[in-house]
Chains A and B, each alone.
Chain A
Amino acid sequence: MGEAIAFYFIAACILGFAVLVISTKDTVHSVLFLVLDFLFVAALYVLLGAAFLAAIQILVYAGGIVVLYLFVVMLVNLKRPPEAHSDPHRQTRLGFGMAAAVIVELGAVALYSTGKPVVPLASAATAAIPVSGNTEQVGWLLYTSYLIPFEIASMLLLVAMIGAIVLAKREL
């Protein structure tokens, strides 16, 4: 019961703040609503028992990425409102139609799958993990089975860092 109340409260906050992010006129307010949205997603991770991921979410998203967005919003001086100029070739109606099609598709998949019993996949991969606890489990997987993807991710971050510096620098 308590879990259900917590889930519905957090879900309502996530969706409400997400709607505010995309509907607010002021871009700075939009970024601040994005912070709240990320914090509630972190709360949802705690509810799911993924404590390490919740900490990562707060550190990387709510701490790092949002500050980056805020810097760009402050650096980009919006003298005229960006929504003022509108492209006559913009296919708004087609876009909404396709979004409605995707919603119908997702709803059909969800309705099809709700009646089915949940199949517990007690896989062999978890049986081999000799540690308990969320952070230990994630760390064990990252440094054994997923070591090469982990290194590739670190290389990707290095390349992105260099690329961002090259793009944002006035002249090299």
Chain B
Amino acid sequence: MSTIVKNIVRFCVLILFQVYVLDKIRLHQMVTPYIYFIFILWLPFKINRTLLMLLSFILGMTLDSFRHHPGFHAAACVLMAYVRPFIINLMIPQEGAETNYEEPSFRSMGGMLPYLIYSGLLILLHNSWLFLLEAWQFADVWYFFLKTLLSTAIGLLLVLITELLFSRNQKFKTNTI
């Protein structure tokens, strides 16, 4: 499957899963389970940064249009997309690893831990920016922190489960063609 088709399918499936499965689960008011941003986590290494931000913006706006108040998730997703290349640069094990594999995964990031740190940091950014925008003030700082941390933990758990369930077998590409 070509990269474009694969990503379009992912986009639709993730949005529908987020809206009709995860949003219907009411765990607790402190925990909002999110998984749709795994679309951004899984985009190829070599994607143009402008395109990356644009795609994330569209992803966020799509989710927002299901929730009838535009802007919140779009802003959080764009922040994620902007920071993603920096974190990949920090986490990538050796020079040239991003040319050997197509997209971030356990294998291409060189193990489970770097990948989880990569996704954890991005999820934390997404959640804190989202909840900050939603609350629009720092009135209840502890509430905000606790909600962000708990939601990030659940988000990370969901990402881990998704990774283990849908193992993406990526071929090792040599750059000596």
Physical interaction between A and B: no
Residues on B lying within 8 angstroms of A by beta carbon are none
Residues on A lying within 8 angstroms of B by beta carbon are none
